[in-house]
Amino acid sequence: MDIYKGDRLAILGPSGSGKTTLLNLLGGITNPDKNEGILNVFGEEIQNYKLKMLTDYRKTRIGFIFQFFNLFPTLNALENVIIGCELLRNKENKNLNTNTIAETYLNKVGLGERLFHYPSQLSGGEQQRVAIARALAKIPFIGKDFLLLLDEPTGNLDTDTGKKIITLVKELNEREGITCVLVTHDKILADLFSTRTVHLKNGEINN
């Protein structure tokens, strides 16, 4: 399976088809259990990466959006975004202000008025937007050579909100040119979002 830069790829399939596993492999949060096949991401073959290299890979190449938003309950929206990008500060990019960047991306996702709200004060959709902003806030540090992976991002949201989130990501993709991979079982959302669709069944591509 190939993923092209700037793609909006949707991976569809029934439960147990392996779509989440595939996403996890791409995101470096799980290792393959067999020594077969190649995972080549931006020229790096990550299938044999050890823990430290996978950590660096996740830091510099991946933005992950989970179903349950996964925000820190004790940090407000702004801080939840900053914690993702301050990891990338070094000597070369020390001029970049993480506060400003975080604010910018929160504005982009429409949460400019909610910077200092805590997750328990935000709706599900708003929390997911924070998660998206956190993932995208890496761009000024690492450029657009990174994968935004979305694992059932609308699973915990109502249909309308879900659509809004998907539309947001689509707009960000078109504006920023980032590569997105969406895992979902919802064909309508997949059609709304993607430029290409891959169907999985029993761990194999079944287009």
Q: Which residues contact 126 (CB under 8 A, 6 or more apart)?
A: 77, 111, 114, 117
153 lines the binding site for other proteins (CB under 8 A): no
Radius of gyration of the chain (CA): 17
# residues near other proteins by CB under 8 A: 35
185 lines the binding site for other proteins (CB under 8 A): no
Amino acid identity, position 149:
L
Q: Based on CB atoms, which residue is closest to other proteins, 58 or 199?
A: 58
Task: Compute the distance between CA of residue 56 and CA of residue 88 in angstroms, rounded to an integer.
Answer: 10
Scanning 10-18, 64-72, 157-165, 198-206 for contacts with other proteins by CB under 8 A, the matching segment is 64-72
Q: Strands, DSSP E only, in the chain?
A: 8-12, 40-41, 44-45, 62-65, 147-151, 179-184, 196-201, 204-205
24 lines the binding site for other proteins (CB under 8 A): yes
Q: Based on CB atoms, which residue is closest to other proteins, 142 or 192?
A: 142
58 lines the binding site for other proteins (CB under 8 A): yes
30 lines the binding site for other proteins (CB under 8 A): yes
Q: Name the minimum Å distance from CB 117 to other proteins.
A: 9
Task: Compute the distance between CA of residue 113 and CA of residue 146 in angstroms, rounded to an integer.
Answer: 28
Q: Phi and psi at residue 106, in whole multiples of 5°?
A: -70, -35
60 lines the binding site for other proteins (CB under 8 A): yes
Q: Based on CB atoms, which residue is closest to other proteins, 55 or 195?
A: 55
The dihedral sign for the CA sequence 137, 59, 45, 17: negative
96 lines the binding site for other proteins (CB under 8 A): no
Tokens 């895992």, located at residue: 183
Residues that bind other proteins (CB under 8 A): 20, 24, 27, 29-30, 51-52, 55-60, 62, 64, 66-68, 70-75, 79, 82-84, 86-87, 118-121, 134
